[in-house]
Structure 1
Amino acid sequence: MEPRVSMLGLGVHDLKKSVEFYEQGLGFSLASSSNENIAFFNLSNLVLSLYPWDKLAEDASVPAEGTGFRGVTIAHNVRSKEEVSEILKLAESAGGNIVKPAQDVFWGGHSGYFADIDGHLWEVAWNPKAILDQAGGMLFD
């Protein structure tokens, strides 16, 4: 297996509202192959897909019910400490919920968390030990 992740699929309760959150609120570009049943956003070296929550659970053969922490967060790393607060404000103005305000963290960086309209947790982080390339790809030395 090659060490990579190609697509991140999120189950959503209202596809139209979720597309609006990511496209209009956060500025992600909706791929033309999207339709009324699924949405694709091309990110740096990764595709974010949105699919109806119950249909995604059905596809995975698991129950659709579930609440609370899911054991997964999505990280958006930025190039400066100041960008953390800017992105959190953008997410909040788009309808997201700030779960943890921007703050210095124990590992030497600066981060905060927001939840999208379906409760998916996004960490926005500046990490002085990480290297971000021109396209936003991240590496650790």
Structure 2
Amino acid sequence: MEQRVSLITLGVADLKRATAFYAELGWEKVETPDGIVVFDLIGQSIGLYPLENLAEDMGVPVERLGTGGATLAHNVSSREEVDGLVEAAKSAGAEILRAPSEVFWGGYIAYFADPDGHVWEIAHNPLSPLAEDGAFRWEGFGET
């Protein structure tokens, strides 16, 4: 697994309130499907996602997420890379929360918790291809 974070997703109780907070900090959101808000950062993105939806995506009860529900996302270039990294994580002692599978927005994801309980999402997002150096940008880098 490369040493990078692609997308930090924060589970929030009130998406509108959380969006207003980050907008107040001067962050500009990017175009996204309804139900998630994303801000591109330098070299990665941060997403705000309703806490209940985040728990459902992981396949765990919302109570397990506590008050600071978050995932650290590592995006890859293919579904096969998702499968391979999840197997490597399992071998290293991770708890698999959601086996690799398709998701409603057209991608392919899995979730695992490291031995300390930090949750990682491994994702292939065909709508956001990675740069040659592995850098992530919501909806990709476009033509160069």
2:111 corresponds in structure 1 to 113
Out of 124, 127, 141, the position equivalent to 2:125 is 127
1:96 matched residue in structure 2: 94
Which of 1 and 2 has higher RCO (CA within 8 Å, sep 6+)?
Answer: 2
Separation in structure 1 between the aligned mates of residue 72 and residue 79 of structure 2, nearest angstrom: 18
Q: Which runs of 4+ in 1 moved over 2 A?
A: none
Q: Aligned equivalents of 2:71 and 2:138: distance in 1? A: 19
What's 1:68 paired with? 64
Query: C-alpha displacement at 1:140, in angstroms?
Result: 2.5
Question: How many pairs were matched up?
Answer: 79
Per the TM alignment, residue 131 of structure 1 is displaced from its structure 2 partner at its CA by: 2.4
Deviations 1:52-79 (A, max 9, x none): xxxxxxxxxxxxxxx8313110000010
Question: Which residues of structure 2 form unaligned runs of 5+?
Answer: 9-42, 45-62, 140-144
**Residue number among 78, 85, 93 corresponding to 2:76 in the alignment:** 78
Shift of 1:88: 0.4
User: In structure 2, the residue corresponding to 1:140 is in which secondary structure?
Assistant: coil
**Secondary structure at 2:70's aligned position in 1?**
coil
CA distance in 2, matches of 1:85, 1:131: 17
Seq. identity, %: 44
Equivalent AA in structure 2 for residue 76 of structure 1: H
The correspondence of residues 41-56 of structure 1 with structure 2, limited to 5 A, is none
The structure with the largest alpha-carbon Rg is 1
Report SS of the residue matched to 1:125. strand
Q: After superposition, where does 1:32-47 map in structure 2 within 5 Å?
A: none
Give structure 1 stretches of 5+ with no counterpart. 9-44, 47-66
TM-score normalised by structure 1 residue count = 0.51
Distance 1:115 1:135 in 2: 26
Residues 26-70 of structure 1 show CA distances to partners (whole Å, capped at 9, x for unaligned) of xxxxxxxxxxxxxxxxxxx68xxxxxxxxxxxxxxxxxxxx8313
